C-alpha cells in the first residue's frame, strides 16, 4: 500500500495541467440588426445563393474557382503544415524508441614481452527507450495549442473559400455591367454617326448652319471617347476573373445579360448566429484558444522535467554470441532537471504568453464587432442601392422621353439642336448610371450573404478539390 501512494499522487498530478483552461470570453451581442428587412427568408443561408442569379455560366465559374483557385491551394498547404505541427506536439507525449549498434576493433598490449600484443573485437547492439513524463501538463498544453492552430487554419481556409466565391460572383457582375455599358456606348456612337451623316447632307444643301453640324460632330467624338476606357476595364475584369478561377489571363465566356439576372432573396439571421457562421470569427477564437494554451506551456517551465531512460542489449567479442544470455546488458535511469536561476527567462515567457492571449482576446472581440458592422453595412447598402436603382430606372425613362420630345420640337422648329444634344447626353448618362446601380444592387445582395456566412460555405466546400482530408 505504501508503494501505491506515490504512484497515485503522480497519476493525479499528471491528470492536471498548469495554466488556465480555455473559456470563451463574454460577448455583448445585440438582439437584432438595425436594418434587418421585414421580409426575409430564414433558411436562405443554407442554400447555394449564387444559383439564384439563374446564370449557369456563373454557377460554372464559382465551381471552377473553388476547385482551382491558388489561394485555396495555399490555404490547404497551411492546414497540412499545421497538422504536421500537431503530430510533432503529440509525439512528445509518448516514449521514443530507438536503437544503436556498433563494432570496435583495436590493438591492446599488456606487459612488454613478445607475443603479448593482440587484436580484439567488440560488438554491441541495444534498444533504448526515452520518455519525458508530462507531470505538469506542459506537453499537453503544447498539443492543445497545436490542435487549436490546426482548427484555426481550417477556418482560415473556409474564409478563403468564402472570399473566392464572393469575389467570383462580384467580378462576374462587374463584367456584365461593363458589357452593358459598352453596348450602350456603342449604340450611342452609332446613333450619333447616323445623325452626323444626315447633318452633313443638310449642311451641304444649306439646310442647317455649320455651327449645328459642328455641335453634332462634337457630340459624336465625345461619345467615341467613352468606349476605350470601358474596353480597358473589361479586359482587366476578364483577367481578374480568370485568375480567380486559376486560369491564365484571357477572354471570358458570358452568360445572361445583366438585366436578365435575378437578385437572390434576402436571408435573415440573428447577430448571435454569426459566432458560429463566420469563418473569421471561428478562426479568431481558435487563435485565442491556442494562445491561452501557451500560458500553460510557459508556466510548466517553473517545474522540473522528469524523464525515464532504459537500455537493453548485448556486448560480445564474438558476433555470433552477441544475443546470447551471457552477453546481455541493461540499464534503467530516472532523471529530474530544472532551472534554479534563469535571470527571469521563465517569468518573461509567462508574461509574454499572457500578453499574447490578451491581444488574441481583443482581436477576437474586435472581429465579432466588425462582423456586426459588416452585416449592418450590407443591409443598409442593399436597401439604399435598391432605392437608387429604382430612382435611376425612372430617370432613364424620363430622359428618354425628354430626348424624344426634344427631337420632335427641333424638327418642328420649336427648339434649337442644343436642346436635343443636352437631352441625349442626359439620357446616356442616366443609362450608364442605372447600369452601375444595378451592379451595385446585385453585389449588395451577394455581400449580405458573405457577411452572414452560413452552411452554404460547407456546401461549397464539397465542390472544392483543395480540401483537407483530415478531420
Looking at residues 376-402, what average pLDDT do you find? 96
CA separation for the pair 17, 140 (Å, rounded): 7
Under 8 Å CB-to-CB from 398, ≥6 apart: which residues? 430
Looking at residues 397-411, what average pLDDT do you find? 94
CA separation for the pair 122, 315 (Å, rounded): 7
- Only one residue has cell 603479448, namely 116
Looking at residues 130-147, what average pLDDT do you find? 89
When mean pLDDT is compared across 103-117, 138-152, 239-253, the lowest value belongs to 103-117
CA separation for the pair 61, 463 (Å, rounded): 12
Which phi and psi (to 5°) does residue 316 adopt?
Answer: -155, 155
User: Is the pLDDT at 115 greater than 60, yes or no?
Assistant: no
Looking at residues 279-286, what average pLDDT do you find? 96
Nearest to 152 by CA among 218, 95, 83: 83
pLDDT-derived band at 95, boundaries 50, 70, 90: confident
Angle at 294 between CA 289 and CA 299, to 5 degrees: 135
The full length of the chain comes to: 471
Q: Residue 7: its pLDDT value, please?
A: 46
Burial class (CB in 10 A: 0-12, 13-18, 19+), 279: buried
Q: Residue 3: its pLDDT value, please?
A: 45
Under 8 Å CB-to-CB from 314, ≥6 apart: which residues? 124, 125, 126, 322, 323, 324, 327, 328, 329
pLDDT-derived band at 314, boundaries 50, 70, 90: low
Q: Residue 399: its pLDDT value, please?
A: 96
CB 275 within 8 A of CB 369: no
Specify the CATH number of the domain 94-133+304-337.
Answer: 2.20.200.10
Task: Give the residue ranges of DSSP H helices in 33-137.
Answer: 56-68, 70-91
DSSP per residue over 245-308, as a string? TTPPS------S-GGGPPPPPPB---GGGHHHH-HHHHHHHHHHHHHHHHHHHHHGGGS-EEEE
When mean pLDDT is compared across 213-217, 329-333, 341-345, the lowest value belongs to 329-333
Q: Residue 323: its pLDDT value, please?
A: 61
pTM for the model: 0.87
Q: Residue 158: its pLDDT value, please?
A: 94
Looking at per-residue pLDDT, the higher value among 14 and 127 belongs to 127
Side by side, the strands of the sheet bearing 96-108 are 96-108, 118-133, 305-316, 328-337
Task: Give the residue ranges of DSSP H helices in 453-469.
Answer: 456-461
> What's the sign of the alpha-carbon dihedral 357, 362, 364, 365?
positive
Q: pLDDT (tens digit, 9 = 90+) per residue, 432-470?
A: 999 999 999 999 999 999 999 988 998 888 877 655 554
Q: Residue 106: its pLDDT value, please?
A: 74
Q: Residue 111: its pLDDT value, please?
A: 52
Strand segments (E) across 320-460:
328-337
pLDDT-derived band at 358, boundaries 50, 70, 90: very high
CA separation for the pair 201, 223 (Å, rounded): 21
DSSP state of 462: T
CA separation for the pair 158, 78 (Å, rounded): 12
Burial class (CB in 10 A: 0-12, 13-18, 19+), 299: buried
| Bridge partners (DSSP) listed for residue 100 | 126
Q: Residue 308: its pLDDT value, please?
A: 83
Superfamily of domain 18-93+150-302+346-461 in CATH is Outer membrane efflux proteins (OEP) (1.20.1600.10)
Angle at 192 between CA 189 and CA 195, to 5 degrees: 155
Distances (CA, A) of 138 to 108, 116, 187, 293, 294: 50, 58, 73, 9, 9
pLDDT-derived band at 17, boundaries 50, 70, 90: confident
In the chain, domain spans: 18-93+150-302+346-461, 94-133+304-337
CA separation for the pair 432, 310 (Å, rounded): 81
For the chain, what percentages of helix, strand and coil (3-state, to nearest 5) are there?
65, 10, 25
Q: Residue 470: its pLDDT value, please?
A: 44
Give yes or no on whether 18-93+150-302+346-461 and 94-133+304-337 have one common fold.
no
When mean pLDDT is compared across 39-48, 301-310, 419-428, the lowest value belongs to 39-48
- Only one residue has cell 473559456, namely 23
CA separation for the pair 292, 455 (Å, rounded): 28
Q: Residue 128: its pLDDT value, please?
A: 82
DSSP per residue over 219-239, as a string? HHHHHHHTHHHHHHHHHHHHH
* Interhelix angle 56-68/138-204, nearest 10 degrees: 140
Distances (CA, A) of 145 to 28, 287, 361, 471: 26, 9, 15, 17
In the chain, % of residues over pLDDT 90? 59
User: Is the pLDDT at 315 greater than 70, yes or no?
Assistant: no
Nearest to 37 by CA among 266, 204, 263: 266
- How many C-beta atoms lie closer than 10 Å to residue 278's C-beta? 27
- Only one residue has cell 447577430, namely 271
Distances (CA, A) of 191 to 223, 342, 428, 468: 10, 85, 11, 56
Q: Residue 37: its pLDDT value, please?
A: 79
Q: Residue 101: its pLDDT value, please?
A: 74
- How many C-beta atoms lie closer than 10 Å to residue 383's C-beta? 15
Q: Residue 471: its pLDDT value, please?
A: 40
Q: pLDDT (tens digit, 9 = 90+) per residue, 53-89?
A: 999 999 999 999 999 999 999 999 999 999 999 998 8
Amino acid at each position: 500500500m505504501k508503494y501505491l501512494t506515490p504512484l497515485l499522487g503522480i497519476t493525479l498530478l499528471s491528470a492536471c495541467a498548469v495554466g488556465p483552461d480555455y473559456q470563451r470570453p463574454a460577448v455583448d451581442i445585440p438582439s437584432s440588426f438595425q436594418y434587418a428587412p421585414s421580409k426575409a427568408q430564414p433558411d436562405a443561408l443554407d442554400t447555394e445563393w449564387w444559383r439564384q442569379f439563374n446564370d449557369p455560366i456563373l454557377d460554372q465559374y464559382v465551381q471552377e474557382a473553388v476547385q482551382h483557385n491558388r489561394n485555396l491551394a495555399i490555404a490547404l498547404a497551411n492546414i497540412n503544415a499545421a497538422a504536421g505541427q500537431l503530430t510533432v506536439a503529440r509525439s512528445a507525449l509518448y516514449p521514443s524508441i530507438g536503437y544503436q549498434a556498433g563494432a570496435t576493433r583495436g590493438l591492446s598490449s599488456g606487459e612488454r614481452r613478445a607475443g603479448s600484443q593482440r587484436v580484439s573485437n567488440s560488438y554491441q547492439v541495444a534498444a533504448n527507450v526515452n520518455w519525458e513524463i508530462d507531470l505538469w501538463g506542459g506537453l499537453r498544453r503544447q498539443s492543445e495549442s497545436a490542435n487549436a492552430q490546426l482548427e484555426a487554419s481550417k477556418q482560415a481556409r473556409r474564409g478563403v473559400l468564402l472570399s473566392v466565391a464572393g469575389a467570383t460572383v462580384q467580378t462576374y457582375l462587374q463584367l456584365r455591367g461593363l458589357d452593358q455599358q459598352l453596348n450602350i456606348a456603342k449604340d450611342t456612337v452609332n446613333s450619333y454617326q447616323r445623325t452626323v451623316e444626315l447633318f452633313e447632307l443638310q449642311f451641304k444643301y444649306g439646310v442647317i448652319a455649320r455651327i449645328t453640324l459642328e455641335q453634332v460632330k462634337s457630340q459624336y467624338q465625345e461619345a467615341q471617347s467613352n468606349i476605350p476606357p470601358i474596353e480597358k476595364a473589361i479586359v482587366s475584369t476578364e483577367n481578374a476573373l480568370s485568375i480567380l478561377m486559376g486560369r491564365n489571363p484571357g477572354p471570358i465566356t458570358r452568360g445572361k445579360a445583366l438585366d436578365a439576372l435575378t437578385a437572390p432573396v434576402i436571408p435573415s439571421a440573428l447577430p448571435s448566429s454569426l459566432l458560429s457562421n463566420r469563418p473569421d470569427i471561428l478562426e479568431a477564437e481558435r487563435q485565442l484558444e491556442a494562445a491561452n494554451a501557451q500560458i500553460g506551456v510557459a508556466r510548466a517551465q517553473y517545474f522540473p522535467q522528469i524523464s525515464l531512460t532504459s537500455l537493453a542489449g548485448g556486448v560480445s567479442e564474438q558476433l555470433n554470441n552477441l544475443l546470447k544470455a551471457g552477453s546481455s546488458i541493461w540499464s534503467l535511469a530516472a532523471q529530474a532537471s530544472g532551472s534554479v536561476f534563469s535571470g527571469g527567462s521563465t517569468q518573461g515567457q509567462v508574461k509574454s504568453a499572457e500578453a499574447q492571449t490578451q491581444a488574441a482576446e481583443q482581436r477576437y472581440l474586435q472581429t465579432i464587432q466588425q462582423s456586426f458592422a459588416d452585416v449592418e453595412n450590407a443591409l443598409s447598402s442593399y436597401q439604399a442601392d435598391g432605392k437608387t436603382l429604382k430612382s435611376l430606372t425612372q430617370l432613364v425613362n424620363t430622359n428618354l422621353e425628354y430626348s424624344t420630345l426634344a427631337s420632335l420640337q427641333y424638327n418642328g422648329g420649336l427648339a434649337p439642336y442644343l436642346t436635343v444634344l443636352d437631352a441625349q447626353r442626359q439620357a446616356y448618362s442616366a443609362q450608364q448610371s442605372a447600369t452601375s446601380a444595378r451592379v451595385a444592387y446585385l453585389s449588395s445582395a451577394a455581400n449580405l450573404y458573405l457577411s452572414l456566412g452560413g452552411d452554404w460555405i460547407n456546401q461549397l466546400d464539397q465542390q472544392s478539390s483543395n480540401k483537407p482530408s483530415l478531420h
